Amino acid sequence: MIIMQRPGPVSVFRRILLFPIIVMMLASGVSALAADVVLNEYMASNGSFVPDEDGDHEDWIELYNRGENSIILEGYGLTDDPNRPFRWQFPRVSIAPGEFLIVWASGKDRRIPGANLHTNFSISAGGEPLQLTAADGRVVDFVPSRAVPRDISRGRKPDGTGGWEYFVEPTPGASNETEGVSGVTNPPHFSHSAGFYMEPFELELSHDDPGVVILYTLDGSVPSEANLDGMTYRHRFGHRMTPGDDLGPLVERELRSHAYDTPVTIQDRSGEANNISNLRSTFEREPGTFVFGETVFDPHVPADPIYKGVVVRARAVGPDAIPSETVTQSYFFRPDDSPRFTVPVVAITVSEDDFFDYHRGIYTAGEDFDAWRSSNPGTGMTPGRPGNFTRRGRGAERPGHLEWFDADGNRVLSQGAGFRIHGGWSRSNPRKSLRVYARADYGKSWFEHPFFDDFSEKTEFKRLLLRNGGNPMNHLIDPVASCDADHVSKPGRGANVPAGRPIYQRRVLGGDVFA
């Protein structure tokens, strides 16, 4: 027989006291476990380092479990905005001791256990904080905002406990054992702002740290120590547009970086021989008149020297630090103090090989058309035949820089951007439409400027469309083309209403204006 006794006052007090002690111990244990999972490495601008399952180069965040127990992450929050700690929440997934977990910061919002995880936000390369929050609202880990250059990661070394370093060789999903550096070099200073000038001048590049080396280019390429002796790419001058044509030669072209030691002379180059404007952007075998069907259009390879500018790109390289971001400045000349143009001017700077390389250039017919012609030797031409310029998607996007000058010649916008060819059959036209993308990968997620007079209240845009006039190809040779710019407005800023305005497009490669 079991004898049950009524507890005395002391027993009741002990039971009441024991319950909060147990709760506190459980909470303390959960808190300790939560603290064992940390933010360990991240990449805020994945230009070409590693693709996700869709083949897209998206930002990524790495978590690491530095503890001795598996941790279930269901309900944990991951964010780039501490005011919204649960901006994105984990599904029911766990992370084992010593395990790394990659979450793609792509904006695709995928939360299926067992599959690749994707947040509903991306990370700005210009700097955004990262925060990991436990399901009960406690902040587990926080990383302050820091600018991280393209294809560079920032991570802890040693894993989980060390200080933050920058890695030229990132290690997503693995230990941070590659060599790291402590910081990022500040960009160099330019003695003259971008814009329109009447007289030549000496451009001086400088830096606050006398120990850095300033690299610069005049051909539109990104300055690099690897290119101080030059680098080459190949461009095809002429294709078999009609059966029986001979192939044009594959010609090597050079891009070169320079170490700054003396001022750079900036002057009007319009009287110099044309360069980039002589490269091929169509299926044609010989330059000159463009013929389609029974219609003959004016020459799109100019015979006389064209209006030119000077584009200077510079970056600083310091000891024990990641090279600085690249600063891009475009300079143009006019005969007097009056505006040269009555409409805004957009200057697009890209590395020449990104547009005209035989294998990867997106502005030329290239290897894709030659492969089609080899497989179809007797087939006639239509503008819809494949070429490098018919490539689509993120893989056919090239990085560059966009500068927008108002009608008075003042630069009102300057930022990194991504460029793709736009259109259907018009892709084979000599002058092509371009889609221009703002992405965190290039520094800013939005273009912030009131581009359109009729929609002046809208100042933030995700992408722009610089049009060539479409299939009416007579617009292609008009020196002041009627170019529309469509847009996608920022959510919450109103409907996505297409808008347009005339602009003067200057697509600048090595200072040559080729469109």
* pLDDT tens-place string over residues 245-276: 889 999 999 999 999 999 999 999 988 888 88
Cα(420)–Cα(434) distance, rounded to whole angstroms? 6
Q: Which domains does the chain have, with CATH numbers?
A: 12-184 (2.60.40.1260), 189-513 (no CATH)
Q: Which residues pair with 259 in a beta bridge?
A: 215
DSSP-assigned states of every residue in 93-130 = -EE-TT-EEEEEESS--B--TTS-EE-S----TT---E
pLDDT tens sequence across 411-452: 999 999 999 999 999 898 888 889 999 987 788 888 999 888
Render pLDDT for 103-147 as a digit per residue (tens, 0 to 9): 999 999 999 999 999 999 988 877 889 999 999 999 999 999 988
Q: pLDDT tier at 480 (50, 70, 90 boundaries)?
A: very low
Query: DSSP labels for 7-26?
Result: --HHHHHHHHHHHHHHHHHH
Residue 388 main-chain phi, psi, to 5 deg: -55, -30
E-assigned strands of 7-79?
37-43, 59-65, 71-72, 77-79
Is residue 508 within 8 A of residue 194, CB to CB? The reply is no
Residues 6+ apart with CB under 8 A from 302: 274, 277
**pLDDT, tens digit, 9 for 90 and up, residues 39-71:** 999 999 888 889 999 988 899 999 999 999 999
Residue 148 identity: V
Q: Is the pTM of this model over 0.75?
A: yes
Evaluate if residue 474 carries a pLDDT over 60: no
In degrees rounded to 5, what are phi and psi of residue 10? -65, -40
Residue 17 reports pLDDT greater than 70: no
Instruction: Quote the CA–CA distance of 447 and 88 in Å, as a whole number.
Output: 25
299 pLDDT above the threshold of 70? no
- DSSP code string of 433-463: EEEEE--GGGT-SSEES---GGGTT--EEEE
Q: Is 129 buried (19+), middle (13-18) or exposed (0-12) by CB count in 10 A?
A: middle
DSSP assignment letter at 37 = E
